Chains A and B, each alone.
Chain A
């Protein structure tokens, strides 16, 4: 599936490791939460980065102690109308201070891209066939925001207007 980061479609270097098989020694792996918690410190011996795939029912605090070892967290939108992952992302970024890659997966659409950026997502796994141009333009649709303390480049009322219209790439 195409992966968008910083405004470009990029190759996905990560591999999802879903079954019970032993972990390969190399490569960047995305593990389900259970497996991550189970492997725990074992992961230190691997070459390659570790990521985790969180269901949108998971409590993000479950990975609090492991965050420093994680380079990727994927959060899921089973349907774009199911907005739980927005709050999970927000908690990861603010409450837990996570600064690695935060990837939106599932029913990820350009109309929500700006919201996702603002709660802290920085990469987007999208379905094949989506129009990349629409994706690139979507975050520019609304360059202003009322909410303070969110990310994503939208200008809030008490910021200088210099950044108006210069929305970041998705």
Chain B
């Protein structure tokens, strides 16, 4: 994992004291709320329905046990004893006091963390494949590049007052677990025939009220040009992105209005005139960063572990959990263990301080001190020896962290919605809980198979409903909540935007509707066909008939 050197540490401390000063000026009335707002947003501090909310960056989703313990301590000391892991590899605290926030930031700096640029119209926390470095299908590890981008984007003098927020995601694998096509810039690491590292670059993807899949901008960019090329894209966007209408201000609208070809032409023209050696870090910088991500000392193990095999054979509950939660690791004898933060009927992504500590302990003991946070609001222990998986599972059970539902119907993504968020038009968490409770039976979930249900509480789409196999969007009309359903969305390497199925449903009807959709799929699927595949084969009609016939 990356570790701060003196430079990083000083930088973050300076940022904390700068913000402390801004908070003091606000409390003393020297800054109006209007003047303070963009300053606090640059540091992840939102004013929500009931209180301030602080969003802390978990850069590209990596944590060690000390960091996780600190997140737990902050939850207890300054909040109500829990935190909420978001769809962008961040953690949110929903109840901090304004005057405490500088102290929280200092506590974070103690463990090399920060809240820089987790909100505001700037380059946000860069996200990456949550199995980076351990996935069996990886071409190259995205984390060194993600760290390079984190540093480059931190307090960028030119790109801190963009037309709108800006999100960059990086993957280094064939399977896209970082949803790069739904980002302002999506980066896929590639190798050419000479074995050199480079990037495929996409731009202009996004969710919100105008969901768009990112357009290809460059099929191959040599790795060393990355920051110069990003600068070119950012400059074209900063100068020409719309500022007259907040809903048209994302780069996706610029790319769409100019057309991908013209946008690309402008970027290339700008790129050609950037003095790259001036701008890009010296070679030693990538090497310095990469050294932190060198593979840990794995033991030489046989891939099949008898202890694990025996436990699978003898313990059906363990086997069921393992089949949902354990993934192939690139090193023999090791496994990736996913931890669901979606207990049936629970709040997606919430973890108590006690659960965070339990995960930290497990990481320290069994996962070479590493934890990952996924954009699907779950956690990962990326380096578990197969022989330890059973012990890990037992301890997860003690802390209500052993739901066997990763990738299944109750592994629901949901934004905070009307329970917390000032922009919400409808509740989303309670809907997620109700659907989860309805579909929660293990046999039922197994019957359904892989399914991604995603729920947003307003058009901003923080719950990524456009990319849900079943997407649910909470809206409001004449004081009544209603829910629009989309089908067939996907955030993976075959990205697609879900199609609206028809008129919306009330809060009372929505769970029944989801069940009808699922039953329709089960009735029509071919052998072994997933929901998404079936939908792509048969289209929306059978679902429409089933849903609207019963209403």
Contacts and interface: CB of A to CB of B under 8 A. Distances in A.
Interface of A: 80-84, 86-88, 90-91, 94-95, 109, 111-112, 114-119, 141-150, 152, 157-158, 164
A148 B156 CA distance: 10
A86 B157 contact: yes
B300 interface: no
Contacts, number: 94
Nearest to A154: B157
A149 B275 contact: yes
Nearest to A91: B235
Interface in B185-230: none
Contact of B7 (A111, A119, A142, A157): A157
B280 A83 contact: no
Contact of B157 (A81, A147, A158): A147
Given A142-B11, A158-B285, A111 B22 contact: yes
Contact of B161 (A80, A149, A164): A80
A66 to B, nearest CB: 19
B313 interface: no
B152 interface: yes
5 contacts: A83-B161, A86-B159, A112-B161, A142-B18, A152-B157
A42 B235 CA distance: 34
B38 A81 contact: yes
Nearest to B31: A111
A88 B162 CA distance: 13
The B interface, classified by DSSP as helix, strand, loop or mixed, is helix
Interface residues of B, number: 38
Given A111-B22, A150-B157, A87 B121 contact: no
B446 interface: no
Given A87-B235, A114-B157, A141-B14, 10 more contacts: A81-B38, A81-B121, A83-B158, A84-B239, A86-B161, A115-B157, A115-B160, A141-B18, A146-B152, A148-B280
In order of increasing CB-CB distance, the 9 nearest A-B pairs are A83-B161, A118-B157, A149-B278, A115-B157, A141-B18, A149-B279, A146-B151, A86-B158, A142-B14
A164 B35 CA distance: 29
Interface string B1-32: 00000010011001101100110000000000
Given A83-B162, A95-B273, A158-B282, A144 B157 contact: no
B467 to A, nearest CB: 29
Contacts of A144: 7, 10-11, 14
Nearest to B11: A144
